[in-house]
A = this chain, B = another copy of it.
């Protein structure tokens, strides 16, 4: 019996699995707009070894060392644009991508992203605390790599867990330079001979920051150059779904074993700080409705210089202006905008308290109820 798949039927995503094969072909088998985030660590070298494809997906013939640099760069660009095009198709409209590279290839990557319609959000520098020295003393120690973070399109509502990242960074907002050691020691995967299993294994700390910062629990993360599966391992720990693509059977095997050993963190551990923006919205009028503030009661700015009267409909009236708590505050301060919740205060027993106190009380009730 043959199962015929409807052309329009939703295709199930191969979640939490490693797809074997070329990344462009494998991505072609995935449905459009199905992935929340892509993390890609493509080949850095310019002397491509034949795994490359032209824009029409025909295979590039075997390596020819006599190729001049122009042809080589051109070939690399064609490969880059081919897989980035497929990646963009697979991304959800509000999805985003991270790519990582060194100065050999990162300018090709960045230019291609811009040309294909991605919107650059930041470039991020991975500062290696323990880089390999420059042995010949002919250049600067190559002590960093560059990541580019881009949304699928300009205006996309990409995920950015601002408060979580700020918490990771001792309470100040996360900068575009991250100091992280290279992957060594126990974390570095070894093959049966005790040699490193993969030449460019990325540290889990790097993926941790990427995934905590720019995905939500349950999001689908795709890594088209999976290697030994750092992306999958960290995604599993963090309660994200993942899809890996890898051509090399040896790497797939190592990745499979590695990820099976990983245990997901507790749900509590995965809860990250959220911003006020994510909390439910409360109208000022509700405070009046519930009798927390009485119509006719006076509110004061912190300095006590300005005051306004509460009206029954949840607007304020001051000497020469009426409107929302925000509008009246902005007008009195001559400011372009004003957060009325923190600007206005009420008095109780000699104390002066911001009205946000009541909002928090209401939010707590909403949570409980």
Contacts and interface: CB of A to CB of B under 8 A. Distances in A.
A272 interface: no
Contact of A337 (B53, B125, B140): B53
Chain A interface mostly helix, strand, loop or mixed?
mixed
A247 to B, nearest CB: 27
B106 A107 contact: yes
Interface string A110-133: 110111000011111101000101
Given A103-B122, A124-B140, A125-B125, A335 B57 contact: yes
A341 interface: no
A83 to B, nearest CB: 17
Contacts of A127: 125, 127, 177
B109 A107 contact: yes
A174 interface: yes
A153 to B, nearest CB: 11
B57 A337 contact: yes
A343 B306 CA distance: 59
> Which 7 pairs of residues, A with B, have the shortest CB-CB distance?
A107-B110, A143-B175, A103-B123, A137-B162, A111-B111, A57-B335, A141-B175
Interface of A: 53, 57, 59, 69, 73, 102-104, 106-111, 113-115, 120-125, 127, 131, 133-134, 137-144, 146, 148-149, 154, 160, 162, 165, 173-177, 275, 333, 335-338
